[in-house]
Amino acid sequence: MLPLKILSAAQIRILDQQTISLEPISSYDLMERASRTFVQQYQKEYTDLDQQTLIVCGPGNNGGDGLAIARMLYEASYEVSVLVVNLGKSSEDQQTNLKRLHKKRGVPIQTLSEGDKLPDLTNIEIIIDGLFGSGLNRPISSYWEQLITHLNENPARRIAIDIPSGLFADSSSRGIIFKADRTYTFQLPKLSFFAPENAPYIGRWTVLDIQLHQQALATQTTAYSYFPIQAAAGFLKTRGRFDHKGTFGHSLIIAGSYGKIGAAILSVRAALRAGCGLVTTHLPVCGYEIMQIAFPEAMVLTDPHREVFTTPPDLGAYAAIGIGPGLGTNSLTQAALLSLLKKAQQPLVLDADALNILGEHSDWQTLIPKNSILTPHPKEFSRLFGQTTNSFSRWKRLQEKAQQLQCYILLKGGNTAIATPEGQLFFLTVGNPGMGTAGAGDVLTGIICGLLAQGYTSKEAALLGTCLHGLAGDLAAVDQQMESIIAEDIIQYLGKAFAKLRTYHG
């Protein structure tokens, strides 16, 4: 499975028109195909035919979809009623579907005009939203705002066709938005689906393939892509019978300070579990015995200082270097990081306190070796690159900084965003809230560093590392529940994560 393009609303309209022209297919038949695909997925998830379902339909093609879906669900013996919103002129395909639905005598159809009494939703168990589609470019206001508020306040399960009404597809939204528990979107995900502030409106989303023309899709260019975990399977390397530890690279992880040696242990252990052949860790003296006892597979170099990092070792032996977990921001450590940045020729994986130091010394950022990987969480990102007002402005800055620094920047979160030096932005949804636990980021640093050392490119290491990390967390959650996950569990499930990825590669 390849990454999915994320197109703007305008591009999606062009893609629809090109499909109509190139296939060729009528716009009405394309609407039928989309609606049929929606209904097929709906039937898999909602098997109770007796649930009272209300489909709210607007005047455009989103409403046309809703009317077609109502007809198809009725034909499949679902209990369906329809609320048609009167906003003046309707699209031709919407009118055609309304006429077809009127012939289905068993489907109650109510028309709602501005100023009418809001509909009685008593006994309604499911509300399907087909009011306003992805073409909406201004906030919903006045009476229709009241209608959506009324729908949101009802205890019924709420489902959106393509996109929740009121949500902008590719920019920050304002005003009232339909709060969907479930969104079935057509062909490609919308950019707005990846913004944390939009999560209460989208619920769980699924992409439905409505077979838009692949040639037309190929001509659409975008900087944004959705990267499903299956897409990482093709990155996995195959090991030969006569390969050995030297084949799989040697990484250096500079981590830990007094009271935070555990961060170093997690990173080093994760690097080896990710397949790295050799791992050396550079620690303050206080961590030497702890590491040797806790994780004897690691080799240990000690800093001259007992409690903090002050002096980079010779870097020539290492294919990749990770720095930051548990490091602290002591002034001596800051000077040592600067020295490392000046010396390093190989890509770095920069995390945690290494990023916090770079946030205090923004002029040092230009010294980061090209193709390095930065792994900030949102607060670290703000310290590095300044505050932003919403996800869309943050993504724009993420792209700009990755291009300026010629590095990969991995913005961690419920949806991870990875920016490349070329200006691409990949979104990943793997992982779960149980991974919001101490040390999980240290594990990610180790995984990525271990992959880099094995010869994966920085792009592959960032994408594959994120997928392995999140997939291991998801597998751990199945066995142990989210509340009980600790960072060590993510490491323990890495083997199963590799195995799961290989099933996608065939």
Q: For residue 485, which phi and psi values (nearest 5 degrees)?
A: -70, 135
The CA distance from 76 to 92, in Å, is: 25
Query: How far is the C-alpha of 93 from the C-alpha of 278, rounded, in Å?
Result: 63
Q: What is the overall mean pLDDT for the chain?
A: 97
Ramachandran category for residue 48: left, alpha or beta (phi over 0 → left; psi -120 to 50 → alpha): beta
Average pLDDT over residues 232-251: 93
Taking Cα atoms as reference points, which of 223, 186, 205 lies closest to residue 19?
A: 186
Nearest to 180 by CA among 172, 8, 192: 192
- Give pLDDT tens digits for 253-271: 999 999 999 999 999 999 9
Per-residue pLDDT of 10-68, as tens digits, reads 999 999 999 999 999 999 999 999 999 999 999 999 999 999 999 999 999 999 999 99
User: Is residue 505 very low, low, confident or very high in pLDDT (cuts 50, 70, 90)?
Assistant: confident
| Pairwise CA distance, residues 496 & 409, whole Å | 27
What is the per-residue pLDDT across 359-378, written as a single tens digit (0 to 9) for each? Answer: 999 999 999 999 999 999 99
Q: Which residue's structure tokens are 């393509």?
A: 162
Q: Name the nearest CA neighbour of 210 among 23, 433, 340.
A: 23
For residue 69, how far is the Cα from the chain centroid? 29
Rg (CA), the chain: 26
Q: Tell whether the model's pLDDT for residue 137 goes beyond 90.
A: no
Q: What is the per-residue pLDDT across 322-346, written as a single tens digit (0 to 9) for each?
A: 999 999 999 999 999 999 999 999 9
Tokens standing for residue 375:
């792994």
Q: CB–CB of 455/249 below 8 Å? A: yes
Q: What is the mean pLDDT of residues 394-401?
A: 98
CA distance 257 to 328: 6
Q: What is the pLDDT of residue 310?
A: 98
How much of the chain is in helix, strand and coil states, percent to nearest 5? 45, 15, 40
**Cβ atoms < 10 Å from Cβ of 458:** 21
Q: Quote the percentage of the chain above a pLDDT of 90.
A: 96
Angle between helices 352-360 and 440-453 (to 10 degrees): 90
Per-residue pLDDT, 135: 83
Residue 86 confidence class, pLDDT cut points 50, 70, 90: very high
Whether 88 contacts 121, CB under 8 Å: no
pLDDT of residue 506: 61
Write the pLDDT tens digit of every residue in 98-128. 999 999 989 999 999 999 999 999 999 999 9
- Res. 185: pLDDT tops 90: yes
pLDDT greater than 80 at residue 164: yes
Check residue 71 and give its pLDDT.
98
Q: Stretch 136-158: mean pLDDT, rounded? A: 94
Give the ranges where 253-388 is alpha helix by DSSP (H).
261-273, 288-294, 331-343, 352-360, 378-385
pLDDT, tens digit, for every residue of 425-461? 999 999 999 999 999 999 999 999 999 999 999 999 9
